Amino acid sequence: MKKFRIYFDKDKETAWLNEMASEGYALTSFFAGSYTFDECTPGKYTYQIDFSDKLFCVSEDYREFMHENDIEIVQTWGFWVFLRKQNAAGPFHLYTDIDSSIEHYTKIRNMFKGASILMIIAFFIECICAFHSPICYFFVLFVGAMMITIMNVTFKTNRLINDLKEQKGEVIKRANGPSPVLIAGLLLNSGALIMSDSVSYIKHPLQILAIALMGYGLVKTFIMKDEL
C-alpha cells in the first residue's frame, strides 16, 4: 500500500507511522513523500525517526550500533533516518534525556535554518525572473509558500528547543523580536516590489497577501505578544 503525505514535523510523522504499524501496516520504504507499507501483525513494530550527520546515508558505526540493538534501518532520506524495532525485542526510544533531545532538535533546527535561507534566495530569484506565464505564477506561489512553511518550521523547532532548555532550568529570553509572520510578510512584499510591472497579475495578489501577513504580524508582535 502506498500513501502520500508531507510532514514537516518529525514527531507527528513518527506518531502517524506508529499508528499505521499498530493497525497492521509497516513502513518499508519512503521516497519524496510517498510512504510504502507492507502488511504486518498489528503492533509488531515501533518506529522512530532520527537525524543523521550525513546526507542519504549513515556512518558504519551507526549502522553497527543500531544492528546490535535490534534496530532496523528502514530508509535514509536526506538527513532523516527511519528506524524500527520489533516490540517483542523491547521498548524503542531514541532520546531519553533533555540534553540529548536539545542536541537532536538543534541539529534539525540548523538544517531548517539553512533550508530557509536557500528558500528565501530561491524566492527572490523567482520574483526577479518572473515573466508573463502561468508557470511563473505557479513557481512564485510555490516557492513563496515553501519559504514561509520552512521558516515556520524553523521557528517552531526553536520554540521547542527553548521549552526544553527551560525545563532544564535555563532562563530563556522570549518573544522580544518581531513575529515570524511579520518577517514572512516583509519578505513577500520585497519579492513583489522587485517584480516587473508587466507581471501585475502575479505581483498584485502577492502584495495583497504580503500586506495581510504584515498586518497580522504587527498585531501578533505588539498586541498578542504573550502568546508567542
β-bridge partners, 30: 35
Q: Work out how close the CB of 200 gets to other proteins at its nearest, in angstroms, rounded to a whole number.
A: 51
Please choose, from the candidates 77, 67, 87, 73, the residue with its C-alpha nearest in 3D space to the C-alpha of residue 35.
Answer: 77
β-bridge partners, 34: 4, 31
Span from 2-10, 23-31, 93-101, 205-213 in contact with other proteins (CB under 8 A): 93-101
Cell of 104: 537532536
Span from 39-47, 100-108, 136-144, 218-226 in contact with other proteins (CB under 8 A): 100-108
DSSP conformational letter for 26: E
Q: Work out how close the CB of 91 gets to other proteins at its nearest, in angstroms, rounded to a whole number.
A: 7
Number of residues lying near other proteins (CB under 8 A): 22
Q: Which of 4, 32, 97, 227 binds other proteins (CB under 8 A)?
A: 97
- Dmax (CA) of the chain: 64
187 vs 193: CA distance, rounded Å: 10
How distant is the alpha carbon of residue 49 from its chain centre?
Answer: 13
Span from 98-106, 153-161, 173-181, 187-195 in contact with other proteins (CB under 8 A): 98-106
Q: Which of 30, 37, 92, 139 binds other proteins (CB under 8 A)?
A: 92
Cell of 40: 504486518
169 interacts with other proteins by CB under 8 A = no
Torsion sign over Cα 69, 104, 15, 20: negative
Of residues 55-74, which lie at the interface with other proteins (CB under 8 A)?
A: 61-62, 64-66, 68-69, 71
Q: Work out how close the CB of 58 gets to other proteins at its nearest, in angstroms, rounded to a whole number.
A: 10
38 interacts with other proteins by CB under 8 A = no
Q: Which of 4, 60, 91, 135 binds other proteins (CB under 8 A)?
A: 91
Cell of 107: 541539529
